[in-house]
A = this chain, B = another copy of it.
Amino acid sequence: MSPENDDSADPRGDLGVALIGHGFMGAAHSQAWRTAPAFFDLPLRPRTAVLVGRDVEATRSAAARWGWRRTESDWRRVVESDDVQLVDICSPGSTHVEIAVAALEAGKHVLCEKPLANTVAEAERMAEAAAAAAERGVLAMVGFSYRRVPAITFARDLVARGAIGELRQVRALYLQDWLVDPEGPMTWRLDKAAAGSGSLGDIGAHLVDAVQFVTGRALTDVSGLLHTFTTERPLLGEVRGLGGTASSERGQVTVDDAAIFTACIEGGALGTFEATRVATGRKNALRLEFSGTGGAVAIDLERMNEIEVYDAGAPVDQLGFRTIYVTEPEHPYAASWWPTGHGLGYEHAFSHQVRDLVVALAAGEQPTPSFAEGLQVQRVLEAVERSAADGSRWTPTAPASAFTRPASEPPATTSPATAAAAS
């Protein structure tokens, strides 16, 4: 039989994708664009059309490896390209605003990696552009991929169906340890001018989004601090391969090693947050615990196929956290993968993100999280920075309207921040 696997017989529309950036996130997104169509029934047919990178050789090599049809070195060319319907932005945060706005204005859908931008001002421009584009049917999404880890999606479902009753407390930690060694070298990630932020923006942003996503409620006020334990680090000398020689000179670390904050959550709950890169021994431990009057839910992404669920209404001698392996067909996304008990890994959330994005695009509906939601996360992070600069004083995060509340959610009632300040 001759090659029948051409596209002509496929009644679905094409979705030509241009990916900007070929680092760690580029790899993850490439794998998702390649994999999602193999496991999910998608209403559009994604095509890995163009990979964009400034280094021509590296970009070509990555494109060959990851299956992109052609490459470009200038993102401006793909924004106007006919074979592109969606621009997927995985380049550094400082470039997001320019690319996203141009793409949206050119009528291309946009998927933009988190954090949405390096500043609130940039994020506001992007949210405005997205709102304007939406009126023309051009849609934008920010890539908080952890929302699509099945355990986290399932936690959201459980909370939404009332499994934990009225929310009381949240514990949210993102623990890494790659900055523990004070003689570890200086890198651009530790330079505020280049990176925009340290733990707060890099991993704290995930915490804020995950907590708001699972609870369906906004952080309204924050009190926090940013701290840098190691303020000077050796500059890298000559680079050799991935490593290099240490220089005898030292550079200034200008971003935070750790960001710690407390937050008031709409409806009267309290959250504690810690994002740190000096939690010795913890490699990538995103831990969430949601306590309510009717139960609790706990997650640790180092065991990402598990969720712990506590039902306060169980018989007293049966009370305890149930460890649920989130791989039954009834669990989010699981039916499309392997049989029960065969776990997923880090990258699968990106395939789920592609799936949900494509479904929304085909339906002409706003994918979530929207740029407005990404902006609201930025505002929370900025409020933490302002609080930290002001002696950890309680600081409102934003106008209440900034948070896109799920339709069925009750309005906020009392604010622990107000209470805390007045106690």
Contacts and interface: CB of A to CB of B under 8 A. Distances in A.
Contact of A284 (B67, B292, B330, B339): B339
A276 B180 contact: no
Contacts of A154: 317
Interface string A337-367: 0111111111110000000000000000000
Contacts of A31: 35, 38
Given A295-B281, A320-B324, A227 B393 contact: no
A392 interface: yes
A274 interface: yes
A168 B274 CA distance: 14
Contact of A34 (B38, B285, B320, B393): B38
B28 A38 contact: no
A121 interface: no
Interface residues of A, number: 114
A391 B388 contact: no
A194 interface: no
A280 B317 contact: no
Interface in A45-69: 60, 63-69
Interface string A1-30: 111110000100000000000001001101
Given A310-B281, A320-B324, A339-B284, A420 B69 contact: no
A260 interface: yes
Contacts of A10: 64
Contacts of A272: 260, 272, 274
A169 B276 contact: yes
Interface in A304-351: 304-305, 309-310, 312, 314, 316-325, 327-331, 338-348
Contact of A392 (B27, B64, B319, B393): B393
Given A169-B278, A280-B292, A280-B296, A330 B317 contact: yes
Contact of A5 (B68, B258, B304): B68
A176 interface: yes
B223 A24 contact: no
B70 A420 contact: no
Nearest to A224: B262
Contact of A293 (B35, B279, B280): B280
Residue among A27, A37, A309, A347 with the highest chain B CB neighbour number at 10 A: A347
B225 A312 contact: no
